[in-house]
Amino acid sequence: MKKSILIVSLLLLLGYQGYAQEKYANMKLYWYRQTEVDSVQKIYLSLLNSEDIQIYSLTPKAIFGVVRDINKPITYDNVIINEKFLWVFHKVIKDRFGNRPDVQAEGDKQKNGQVYIIDNRCKNRQNIPVQDIIGWFPVREQIILTEDYRPNPQYQIFTADGIFSLPEHVCMDLMKELKKKDAPKIDKDE
């Protein structure tokens, strides 16, 4: 108890800001070998572990990607990223980053422009490669247009530096989205 009070006191003394000291999750890819109907073997990648797969199943949106050549190592250049997964990924980015105080503060600094969301795996913050820019929010009259979030079409979710790196709470939200059961589609006639 005394130790936790001391830590909180030190953090307050040092001017701790929640967003400045975020924990970043180390996401892990799991692979699943499957034989398709035509006897072709495929390897699917997912952020869901085998226990999660048993509970939630390996839905299309939960498939991170497919290995191109199963006889070669699983590297960024041997994986086809799943568009359905990317859609969910960008939905979570839009939902979680648009209203963050640090993103809003960045929008307040400019009259018109963009606030870029950068993948934390980017090591060079002075010269950010385009493939590490996840997307951006437009800014008009110092207001961030959260509904107008734009994914960067050149963003690479998997590079030689590994898969994406985001704040832990964003990764937790992504995992929740991947585990969600989608609502069944209802025909207009029903």
How does the average pLDDT of the chain come out, rounded? 83
Sign, CA dihedral 101-106-109-115, equals: negative
Strands (E), 6-83: 30-35, 41-46, 63-67, 79-81
Element (H, E) at 113: strand 112-118
Q: Determine the Cα–Cα distance for residues 42 and 80; give it in Å rounded to an integer.
A: 12
Residue 22 binned pLDDT confidence (cut-offs 50, 70, 90): low
**What Rg do the C-alpha atoms of the chain give, in angstroms?**
20
Q: Which residue has the tokens 């936790």?
A: 4
The span from the CA of 28 to the CA of 50, in Å, is 12
> Are the beta carbons of 128 and 122 closer than 8 angstroms?
yes
Specify the pairing of strand 112-118 against strand 133-140.
Answer: antiparallel
**Is the pLDDT reported for residue 162 higher than 50?**
yes
Of 97, 182, 175, 167, nearest in space to 135 by CA: 97
Distance of CA 110 to the CA centre of its chain: 26
pLDDT tens per residue across span 97-139: 888 888 888 888 888 999 999 999 988 888 999 999 999 999 9
When mean pLDDT is compared over 13-22, 35-44, 52-61, 75-84, the highest value belongs to 75-84
pTM: 0.81
Q: What is the arithmetic mean of pLDDT over 70-94? A: 96
Q: Treating both helix axes as pointing N-terminal to C-terminal, what angle do 83-97 and 168-179 enclose, rounded to 10 degrees? A: 130
What is the longest distance spanned by two Cα atoms in the chain?
A: 64
Torsion of CA 56, 59, 61, 67, to 10 degrees: 120
pLDDT at 38: 83
